[in-house]
Amino acid sequence: MTIHKEGYSSIAWATILFGVINILSFYFISYSSPALSWIIFIGTLALLLFLISFFRIPKRQLSSGDDAIIAPADGKVVTIEEVEADEYFADRRIQVSIFMSPLNVHVNRNPVSGDITYSEYHKGKYLVAWHPKSSTENERHTVVYKTKGKELLIKQIAGALAKRIVNYLEAGQQVKQGEEMGFIKFGSRVDVLLPLQAKVQVKIGENVKGGVTVIATW
In the chain (218 residues long), the average pLDDT of successive 10-residue segments reads 87 96 92 92 95 89 91 95 92 94 89 96 67 64 94 87 79 95 83 95 96 94
Instruction: Residue 99: give its domain's CATH number.
Output: 2.70.70.10
49 and 75 housed in the same domain: no
Q: Please tell me the predicted confidence (pLDDT) of residue 105.
A: 87
Q: Look at the chain and report how many structural domains it folds into.
A: 2
Active site residues: 188
74 and 52 housed in the same domain: no
Return phi, psi of residue 193, to 5°. -105, 115
What pTM, to 2 d.p., does this model score? 0.83
Q: Rounded CA gap, 100 and 103, in Å?
A: 8
Q: Please tell me the predicted confidence (pLDDT) of residue 126.
A: 56
Indicate the helix (H) or strand (E) that contains 8.
helix 8-28
Residue 63 located in a structural domain:
no
25 and 133 housed in the same domain: no
- The helix/strand/coil state of 48 is helix
Q: Rounded CA gap, 88 and 25, in Å?
A: 54
205 and 103 housed in the same domain: yes
Q: Please tell me the predicted confidence (pLDDT) of residue 190.
A: 94
Which of the listed residues 38, 57, 76 is the one where a domain comes to its end? 57
Residue 42 located in a structural domain:
yes
187 and 82 housed in the same domain: yes
35 and 92 housed in the same domain: no
Residue 124 located in a structural domain:
yes
Q: Please tell me the predicted confidence (pLDDT) of residue 89.
A: 93
Q: Please tell me the predicted confidence (pLDDT) of residue 15.
A: 96
Q: Please tell me the predicted confidence (pLDDT) of residue 44.
A: 96
Q: Burial letters for 117-143: b for 16+ Cβ neighbours within 10 Å, e otherwise? A: ebbeebebeebebeeeebbeebbbbbb
Range of the domain at 196: 68-217
Cα angle 130, 6, 190 (rounded to 5 degrees) comes to: 25
Q: Please tell me the predicted confidence (pLDDT) of residue 162.
A: 55
Q: Rounded CA gap, 139 and 23, in Å?
A: 38
